[in-house]
Amino acid sequence: GDRSYDKRKNAALEIEALIKALQENNDTDRICSVIAMLGQDFATSTNSNHRKGGLIGLAATSIGLMADIHRYLDALLPPVLHCFDDPESRVRYYACESMYNIAKVARGHILKYFNQIFDGLCKLFADVDVDVKNGANLLDRLVKDIVTESESFDVERFIPLLQKYIRRTNPYIRQLLIGWITVLDSVPDINMLDWLPEFLDGLFNMLSDGNREIWQAADSALAEF
């Protein structure tokens, strides 16, 4: 209920303050211990309230770390990505929110993990829970902004993932993919035309989608090329 939400909120503020203090003292060992505790004891606990608490704690940690976050992403991200598959929808929602907060602080540093995050987005976009879907939409917009402002996005690594999902008929996944093809095509340093043969038939298949919104989006994406 609301009381447990307030409790978690206060705990998050305490974690953020603790991490800031450790950061000022350059105490990397203790920062690593806090992240390990949140990621291992909490975010992967069998108790769903502990998992939610762990996810909120990891997000609070990233806010406390600010500019130094890139040093700790290897420890911060795996437990959050793991919770994208959680059987409980509230936990999946918190995982979305946590990833959003981490990405907001880390910006371009998350691109190293782009494929894992995108894999997660595909699962979350197809989620049955409306809150999870909305959370995934917000995360997707943020990641698109980060990719658009970055100068080092690795399209070559992304294409196999695009090929994997472009065969799916789930309308939400299709919308996600068309959105990404369009966004990447608008980035000056990326020439999606070079990669068109890799996903062209997938886009063509979408033209026969029963959902008007999807075939229109696929049609205008193809028209761009």
Q: What is the dihedral of CA 108, 113, 119, 125, to 10 degrees?
A: -30
Most distant CA pair in the chain, distance: 60
- Give per-residue pLDDT as tens, 81-94: 999 999 999 999 99
Q: How far is CA 182 from CA 66, 143, 191, 208, in A?
A: 31, 14, 11, 19
Position 7 confidence tier, pLDDT thresholds 50, 70, 90: confident
User: Locate tokens 């409790």: which residue?
Assistant: 7
At 132 the pLDDT is 98
pTM over 0.85? The answer is yes
Mean pLDDT of the 144-162 span: 95
At 78 the pLDDT is 98
- Give per-residue pLDDT as tens, 193-215: 999 999 999 999 999 999 999 99
Least confident of 1-10, 33-42, 182-191: 1-10
- Structure tokens of 164? 């994997």
Q: How far is the C-alpha of 218 from the C-alpha of 221, rounded, in Å?
A: 5
Residue 19, Cβ density class (10 Å: 0-12 exposed, 13-18 middle, ≥19 buried): buried
Q: Is the pLDDT of residue 1 over 70?
A: no
Position 2 confidence tier, pLDDT thresholds 50, 70, 90: low
- Give per-residue pLDDT as tens, 170-187: 999 999 999 999 999 999
Residue 104 — φ and ψ, nearest 5°? -65, -35
Closest C-alpha to 178, from 223, 132, 117: 223
Residue 84 — φ and ψ, nearest 5°? -60, -25
Exposed e or buried b per residue across 26-37, where buried means at least 16 C-beta atoms within 10 angstroms of its C-beta: eeeeebeebbee
